[in-house]
Amino acid sequence: MSNKEKRFSVYMPRFQNESGFTLLSSLLFLSMILFLVPILANMMKLTQYDSRYDELSVWHFFLFLQHETTEAAGYQVTGNTLHLQLRNGKTASYSRYYSDIRRQVNSVGHEIYLKDVKQIEFVPLTFGFKTIVHSIQGEIYEKVIIFHPK
């Protein structure tokens, strides 16, 4: 044995039987994997959530529409457009514009109130009107808005 080999063997002891070490390390690795898989599966479930953004947007639109209807002097439904006669003499109209619902005052302006809309319907009733919104995702939302003349 050379001098260099002797120095190396002092720091690195030689094992006679190294085959058991491979089995031991494999069992240790396998036990760690089996321990971590259920924990990772539960963590993946926590990261997935159901977004209610579209539903909240539609109900927020209904809230705006109901509030403006209670402040209006009158209303009229023509086709799929709702016209509200405001107390200041102006007329606010709600209609579909491409895949959005927009509000215009005296046929001027462009306020987007709702996005991703496939179709909107305003059905006149004796005491108000029913608003039906069909979303692009296939959901249908309905709201009956009561008109109280002042």
pTM recorded for the entire structure: 0.67
Distance CA 103, CA 111 (A): 5
pLDDT tens per residue across span 3-21: 555 555 555 555 555 555 6
pLDDT for residue 9? 54
What residue ranges in the chain does DSSP mark as E strands? 74-78, 81-85, 91-97, 100-105, 108-114, 117-124, 128-135, 140-146
pLDDT for residue 24? 77
pLDDT tens per residue across span 73-108: 999 999 899 999 999 999 999 999 999 999 999 999
